[in-house]
Structures are given as structure tokens and as C-alpha cells.
Amino acid sequence: MIMGYIWLVLIAVVLIYGVIIYNGLVNLKHAVSQAWSNIEILLKQRHDELPKLVEACKQYMQFERDTLEKVMQARAAAHTAREKGDVKGVGQAESMMRLGLGNIVATVEAYPELKANQSMQQLLGRITGLENGISDRREFYNEAVNRNNVRIETIPDVFVARSFGFKPADLLVFSEAETSDVDVRALFAR
């Protein structure tokens, strides 16, 4: 009789511990989703600003069409990757777009009348602010992904994670070009 009670208590403790682990994993999964949603909001805002920037630039930079077209192609690729939920694809497309934006900023510096244009400066300021926000949110997202991925791979959580199909999430990584040194000579060679 006493052994029966001991087994019941032991089973109850294991079940309660399993529920606690499950709830913790669910919280982490939703933290990753929320962090991604915050990034998507900023990406969408920046993507909405890009056509305005490109239009303002077109008025002044007739022979810089290649730079503008690359930015718009990267914007389309990023949008497609976001629609598919392809975090790696978003990172690659965003890297291309960030490089293109860097080229636009360098080109704006070469055109005094464009540099002095008030709406151009407002657009560049808005996009720069969004870039900073994206960087901050990317850090939060990657932190949430890392916590999630570590937790679903550690014992005893791994047993609950596998039982209920919890999957690792992808980090949002931009290209190595963003972390490498800037070639200042190339920027001024225009």
C-alpha cells in the first residue's frame, strides 16, 4: 500500500516537472515569434520608405540607376523571403539591401544638391533610424533564438522538446561584409 502511494507521488512529481518544462519551452517559442514580429515591423517600415528614397534619388542621379535597381531587387528578395518565413533568405537579402543603401548614401555625398535636399535628408534620417532599430531588434531576436535552441538541446528539456516537436529556430545573420572594415577609398573613388 505504501509503495503504491510512493509510486503515485513519484509519477505526479514527474508529470508536474514535465508540465513546467513544457510551459517553459512554449514561452521560449513565443518569445522567438514575438522578437521576429518586431523585426518584421521595422523591415516593413524600411521597405515602405525605400521607394520614396529611390524616387528622390532618381531625380538627381540619372546615371546611378544600377545602384537604385540593385536596392529595389534586394528589397523584392527580402520581401519574398519574409513571406516564405525564410530567416536565412531574409538575412541574405537584407545584407544586399544594406550594401546598396550604403552605396546610395555614398552617392548622395557626391551630389551637393541632393545632399542639401530636405526631403532626401529626412528619408535618409528615417532609414538610418530604422537600420538602428533593426540592429537592436536583431540582437533581441538572436538572443531569444539562442535561449530556445540551447533549452531544447539540454537534458531534461530535450526529452519534452522531442516528444512535442519543438524545433530549433534560425538566427538572423547578415553577411560578413557588414562586419568587415569599410573600404573608404572605394567610397571616395566615385
Residue 147 reports pLDDT greater than 90: yes
Those residues whose C-beta lies under 8 Å from the C-beta of residue 34, and which sit 6 or more positions away, are 144
Least confident of 21-30, 39-48, 66-75, 107-116: 107-116
More confident call, 155 vs 174: 155
Residue 63 banded pLDDT, cuts 50, 70, 90: very low
Hey, what CATH topology would domain 2-188 get? de novo design (two linked rop proteins) (1.20.1440)
> What would the DSSP string read from start to end of 67-121?
HHHHHHHHHHHHHHHHHHT-HHHHHHHHHHHHHHHHHHHHHHHH-HHHHT-HHHH
Confidence at residue 101, expressed as pLDDT on a 0 to 100 scale: 78
Q: How many CB atoms lie within 10 A of CB 160?
A: 20
pLDDT digits (tens, 9 = 90+) for 86-101: 888 888 888 888 887 7
Residue 176 has pLDDT above 60, yes or no: no
Which run of H or E residues covers position 116? none
Residue 23 has pLDDT above 90, yes or no: yes
> Is residue 88 within 8 Å of 170, Cβ to Cβ?
yes
Q: Per-residue confidence at 8, pLDDT binned at 50, 70, 90? A: very high
Domain ranges, ordered by start, for the chain? 2-188
Query: C-alpha grid cell for residue 183?
Result: 573600404
Predicted pLDDT of residue 124: 78
C-alpha cell at 129: 533610424
Q: What is the largest CA-CA distance in the chain?
A: 91
Say whether pLDDT at 182 is over 70.
Answer: no
Q: pLDDT at position 120, please?
A: 74
